[in-house]
A and B are shown apart, each in its own frame.
Chain A
Amino acid sequence: AQKITQTQPGMFVQEKEAVTLDCTYDTSDPSYGLFWYKQPSSGEMIFLIYQGSYDQQNATEGRYSLNFQKARKSANLVISASQLGDSAMYFCAMREGNTGGFKTIFGAGTRLFVKA
């Protein structure tokens, strides 16, 4: 079974608008971490934002926020005021547990295109 699902292979957004990239996850572990990474066309993997399963508040980092809905097992990334440089592949990832393994599973990614 897919542990991380990103249902949007591609998304378009107008410059300066907000966009939400969807991510749902599946785990029975009460302790887990959720991450979003950005991969521009240059290829590097850039860490954007982290949410722990016990965190009460949604994580925010500058223009990025993570809409964490625990009961629905969703961890959507919201990018506000999109910029042309936001065009990239975005990966949602989950790490289960806190000890042993630290295995992180990645979703298939969403390619975001920002239009001028």
Chain B
Amino acid sequence: DTAVSQTPKYLVTQMGNDKSIKCEQNLGHDTMYWYKQDSKKFLKIMFSYNNKELIINETVPNRFSPKSPDKAHLNLHINSLELGDSAVYFCASSQVSGGHTQYFGPGTRLTVL
């Protein structure tokens, strides 16, 4: 009964490929997020969806495209992968009650060769 799950946990791919990361939450939350954590552990928000609507879209290359088919799912598709995309990508979810405390998935370690 994992609260926020992500697949895959590890992703190793070649430059130029297209890949997707999937995220699902069973907490009944209405807001979901994608974060990127770089090699120095700095965590930066990329996107946020509230009730399937995009509400945060930080300065992220348009090779990154989030998709939220429903409130419980938020996927991240990355086109034309570059070396600099190597990082850990975290999905998170939150709800208004509790001050929008975000609960994180286990992370997906993406390595671009």
Chain A residues near B (Cβ < 8 Å): 33, 35, 37, 39, 43-47, 50, 52, 89, 91, 95, 98, 100-106, 108-109
Contacts and interface: CB of A to CB of B under 8 A. Distances in A.
What is the interface residue range for chain B against chain A? 20 to 34
B29 to A, nearest CB: 11
Given A101-B55, A102-B31, A109-B41, A95 B99 contact: yes
Given A102-B55, A102-B56, A104-B45, A50 B101 contact: yes
B99 A39 contact: no
Nearest to B100: A102
A100 B94 CA distance: 13
Contacts of B50: 102
- Chain A interface helix/strand/loop/mixed: strand
A103 B45 contact: yes
B12 interface: no
Which 4 A-B residue pairings sit nearest by Cβ, starting from the closest? A45-B104, A33-B99, A106-B43, A102-B100
A113 to B, nearest CB: 15
A44 B107 contact: yes
Contacts of A102: 31, 48, 50, 55-56, 94, 100
B88 A104 contact: no
